[in-house]
Copies of this chain bind each other. A is one copy, B any other.
Amino acid sequence: MLPRATIKRMMKQHTNLNISAEAVEEICNLLEEIIKITTEVAEKNAKKEGRKTIKARDIKRCDDERLKKKILELSERTEKMPILIKEMLNVITSELE
């Protein structure tokens, strides 16, 4: 578990505002999620190259991978895609007039 006091101290390096305990908790949740996903993706990278050790380069690409997953999730969650596509077609076909 991440040490709450350390995390809060690190946050304080970037702001003069007070920070609620719940805010520290929330950022720790985010960091823990990132550690989990990053490690899982790094493991896949390492295994793909037949290694038994996770190296720095396995970590580097993980954040992009995480963002990619999140974008795909978002596009599945939103119902706006067909509307956007229609809107785009409207713009293109307005050239006909």
Using a CB–CB cutoff of 8 Å, the interface residues on chain A facing chain B are 1-3, 6-7, 10-11, 13-15, 17-20, 22-23, 25-27, 30-32, 34-36, 38-40, 42-43, 46-47, 51-56, 58-60, 62-63, 67, 70-71, 85, 88-89, 92
**Shortest distance from the beta carbon of A18 to any chain B beta carbon, whole Å:** 4
- Stoichiometry, as copies per complex, reads 2
Chain B residues, Cβ within 8 Å of A42: 15, 23
Q: 19 pairs across A/B with beta carbons < 8 Å?
A: A7-B35, A10-B35, A13-B36, A17-B51, A17-B52, A17-B53, A18-B54, A19-B53, A20-B56, A22-B56, A23-B58, A26-B56, A27-B39, A30-B59, A31-B34, A31-B35, A34-B34, A67-B70, A85-B88
